[in-house]
Amino acid sequence: MSVVAFERKRNQVLWSEAELDTIAAALNVSIASGDGRSWETGITEKGDAQLYLLGPLPDQACELCVSRIGGRYILDDGSGRLLFEHQSLALVALHAKAAMRSSWWGLVARVALLWCTIRHMIHDRLEPLLTESEEMLVHLAPQLAAFA
Give pLDDT tens digits for 8-61: 554 456 888 888 888 888 887 666 666 677 788 888 888 888 888 888 777 778
Distance between CA atoms of residues 87 and 89, nearest Å: 6
Give pLDDT tens digits for 66-106: 989 888 999 998 788 898 898 988 888 888 888 776 566 67
Distance between CA atoms of residues 8 and 108, nearest Å: 42
